[in-house]
C-alpha cells in the first residue's frame, strides 16, 4: 500500500508538471514570427538559391523564432512592384532592382552609371559602402537588409568590335540607363526585354547587346553572338535591394534583429561571389563555343570611358536639380572603384 501511494503521488506530480508546462509551450509557439520573402529571380537561378539560403540561415540562427516562406520568380509580387509592396506589407521582405522604378531612387541611380566596373564583388561592395555613407532618405520607409549589383555590363555582338568607331550605328539591345550608354558610344538602342533578346540577336533585329557575361549562358546569348568586347572603362551595373517592411522589422525582438543583420552582412560577400561565379560560367560557355573575347588596350578602353563620361556629368546636374549631392555621390563611387 505504501508503495502504491508513492506511485500515485509520482504519477500525480508528473501529470501536474505536464499540465503546467502546456501554457508555456503554447506561449513559445505564439512567439514564432512568420514572414514571406518575394524575389523576381526564377527558382533555379543562383541568386534565387542564395536568397533562399539566407532565409534558412536566419531560421537556423534564431532557433526557429523566425520562419520565412520564400517566393521566387515574382510569384508573390511583380519585380517592378516589389519595393512598394514591401512598404505596404504585401511582402515582408523583397528583392528587386532599383532601375525597375527609375526616378524613385535618385541617389541610388548613381550606382547604375557606367563607372568602369571590373567585377560583381566590386560592384556589390560599392553599393553597400555607398548606402552606409549617404543613407539616402528615399529608402527610409523600409529596413535595408543588404544591397548588391551584378558584374560589369559590357558589349556582346554578332561581329567583333575592337574599337569605338565600330559601334557607330550598331543596333544594340539596351533599356533604361544602359540605352544612354549605347547612345554615348555611338550605337542605336534596341528596347527588347531579356527574354526577347535571344530572338532579336538571332534574327538581326539587334546586332549586339549590353549585359554581364552571365547572360551568355543564363540567357543563352552565347549561341547567337560571336564575340564579347571587354569595354570595362564604360562598364555599368544594376543595383539591387533586399529590404524589409519597417513595421515588421520594428516588431522583431532585438536578438532576432541582430541575427538578421549579421546574416545580411555575411551575404554581401556571398552575393558578390555568386555574381562573379555566374559571370565566369558565362565566359566559359561562350569560349567553348569558339566565340571571341576581345580585350581592349588601355588607350582604347580609356576612349570608351571618355565617351560615356558625359552621363556622369548629366547625373550630377539631375541630382542637383532635386537638391541632392550628385557630385559627392559620383566622386565617392569613382574614388571607391579606384582604391578597391
Nearest C-alpha neighbor of 167 from the set 199, 197, 209 = 209
Question: First and final CA of the chain: distance in angstroms?
Answer: 83
- Please tell me whether residue 40 adopts helix, strand or coil conformation: coil
Q: Do domains 32-101+119-149+237-279 and 154-236+289-339 have the same CATH topology?
A: yes
156 Ramachandran zone, left/alpha/beta (phi>0; psi -120 to 50): beta
Backbone angles phi, psi at 228, to 5 degrees: -130, 135
Whole-angstrom Cα distance, residue 276 to residue 253? 35
- pLDDT tens sequence across 42-73: 899 999 999 999 999 999 999 999 999 999 99
Q: What CATH code is assigned to 154-236+289-339? A: 3.40.190.170
All 3 cell numbers of residue 271? 552575393
Q: Is 9 exposed, middle or buried (0-12, 13-18, 19+ CB in 10 A)?
A: exposed
Is the four-CA dihedral 14, 20, 24, 30 of positive or negative sign?
positive
- pLDDT tens sequence across 255-314: 999 999 999 999 999 999 999 999 999 999 999 999 999 999 999 999 999 999 999 999
Confidence grade of residue 102 (pLDDT, cut at 50, 70, 90): confident
Nearest C-alpha neighbor of 34 from the set 73, 65, 74, 60 = 65
How much is the pLDDT for 84? 97
For residue 157, the surrounding DSSP H or E stretch is strand 154-157
Domain boundaries, the chain: 32-101+119-149+237-279, 154-236+289-339
Confidence grade of residue 199 (pLDDT, cut at 50, 70, 90): very high
Is the four-CA dihedral 208, 231, 118, 264 of positive or negative sign?
negative
Whole-angstrom Cα distance, residue 329 to residue 316? 8
All 3 cell numbers of residue 170? 550598331
How much is the pLDDT for 176? 79
Alpha helices for the chain (secondary structure H): 2-30, 46-61, 82-88, 120-134, 177-185, 194-203, 214-218, 246-250, 254-288, 298-321, 326-339
Query: Residue 26: pLDDT above 50?
Result: no
Q: Which CATH architecture has domain 32-101+119-149+237-279?
A: 3-Layer(aba) Sandwich (3.40)
All 3 cell numbers of residue 171? 543596333
Amino acid at each position: 500500500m505504501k508503495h502504491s501511494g508513492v506511485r500515485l503521488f509520482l504519477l500525480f506530480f508528473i501529470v501536474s508538471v505536464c499540465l503546467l508546462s502546456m501554457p508555456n509551450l503554447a506561449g513559445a509557439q505564439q512567439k514564432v514570427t512568420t514572414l514571406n520573402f518575394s524575389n523576381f529571380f526564377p527558382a533555379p537561378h543562383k541568386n534565387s538559391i542564395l536568397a533562399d539560403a539566407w532565409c534558412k540561415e536566419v531560421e537556423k540562427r534564431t532557433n526557429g523564432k523566425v520562419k520565412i516562406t520564400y517566393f521566387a520568380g515574382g510569384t508573390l509580387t511583380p519585380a517592378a512592384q516589389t519595393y512598394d509592396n514591401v512598404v505596404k506589407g504585401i511582402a515582408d521582405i523583397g528583392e528587386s532592382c532599383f532601375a525597375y522604378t527609375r526616378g524613385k531612387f535618385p541617389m541610388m541611380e548613381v550606382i547604375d552609371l557606367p563607372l568602369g566596373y571590373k567585377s560583381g564583388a566590386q560592384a556589390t561592395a560599392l553599393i553597400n559602402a555607398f548606402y552606409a555613407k549617404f543613407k539616402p532618405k528615399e529608402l527610409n520607409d523600409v529596413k535595408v537588409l543588404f544591397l548588391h549589383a551584378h558584374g560589369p555590363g559590357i558589349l556582346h555582338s554578332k561581329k567583333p568590335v575592337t574599337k569605338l568607331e565600330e559601334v557607330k550605328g550598331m543596333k544594340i539591345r539596351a533599356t533604361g540607363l544602359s540605352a544612354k550608354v549605347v547612345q554615348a558610344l555611338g550605337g542605336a538602342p534596341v528596347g527588347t526585354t531579356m527574354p526577347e533578346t535571344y530572338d532579336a540577336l538571332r534574327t538581326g533585329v539587334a546586332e549586339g547587346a549590353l549585359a554581364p557575361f552571365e547572360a551568355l549562358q543564363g540567357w543563352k546569348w552565347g549561341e547567337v553572338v560571336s564575340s564579347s568586347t571587354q569595354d570595362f572603362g564604360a562598364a555599368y551595373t544594376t543595383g539591387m535591394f533586399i529590404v524589409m517592411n519597417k513595421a515588421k522589422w520594428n516588431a522583431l525582438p532585438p536578438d532576432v534583429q541582430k541575427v538578421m543583420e549579421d546574416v545580411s552582412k555575411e551575404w554581401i560577400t556571398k552575393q558578390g561571389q555568386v555574381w562573379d561565379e555566374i559571370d565566369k560560367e558565362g565566359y566559359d560557355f561562350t569560349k567553348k563555343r569558339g566565340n571571341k573575347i576581345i580585350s581592349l588596350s588601355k588607350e582604347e578602353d580609356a576612349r570608351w570611358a571618355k565617351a560615356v563620361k558625359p552621363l556622369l556629368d548629366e547625373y550630377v546636374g539631375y541630382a542637383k536639380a532635386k537638391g541632392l549631392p550628385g557630385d559627392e555621390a559620383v566622386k565617392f563611387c569613382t574614388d571607391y572603384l579606384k582604391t578597391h
